[in-house]
Amino acid sequence: MRFAGGLIEHECPRCHKEVALAFGTICSECSASIEKRAARAGRLIAGLSTIVMAAYVLVQMPSDNTGRIIGAASVAVWYMLSYLVVKRVARLIYS
Ligand SMILES: [Zn+2]
């Protein structure tokens, strides 16, 4: 009684493969494919925008150590946040 109380589809709506799925879900292969493509897009776009951000921070870098540390930390935070945002948006686009 795995899907007790819910509707069961017998075909993945994305790849049309015959599998038993809960209503409104896609198969595990499609989920993995979407996740992989979204992660790749996230890495690419976050990497490119981080290069631009790092160049700007390098040009505008203050000469004291505190400014350098904060600049480097902001570049790292920028990469992480932009990766997460792009991955989430790409997941929506690819699904
Ligand atoms: Zn599928």
86 CA from centroid of ligand 1 (Å): 23
Distance 93 CA to ligand 1 centre (A): 16
Pairing state of beta strands 8-9 and 21-22? Answer: antiparallel
> What are the 10-residue block averages of pLDDT along the chain, 95 residues in total?
62 86 86 96 97 94 89 96 97 91
For ligand 1, the distance from its centroid to the CA atom of residue 48, given in whole angstroms, is 31
**pTM listed for this prediction:** 0.78
Beta bridge partners of 21: 9
Q: How far is the CA of 74 from the centre of ligand 1 (A)?
A: 39
pLDDT of residue 8: 72
pLDDT at 23: 79
How far is residue 12's CA from residue 20's CA, in Å, rounded to a whole number? 8
Q: Supply the pLDDT for residue 6.
A: 62
Q: What pLDDT, on the 0 to 100 scale, is given for residue 46?
A: 97
Give the pLDDT of residue 51.
98
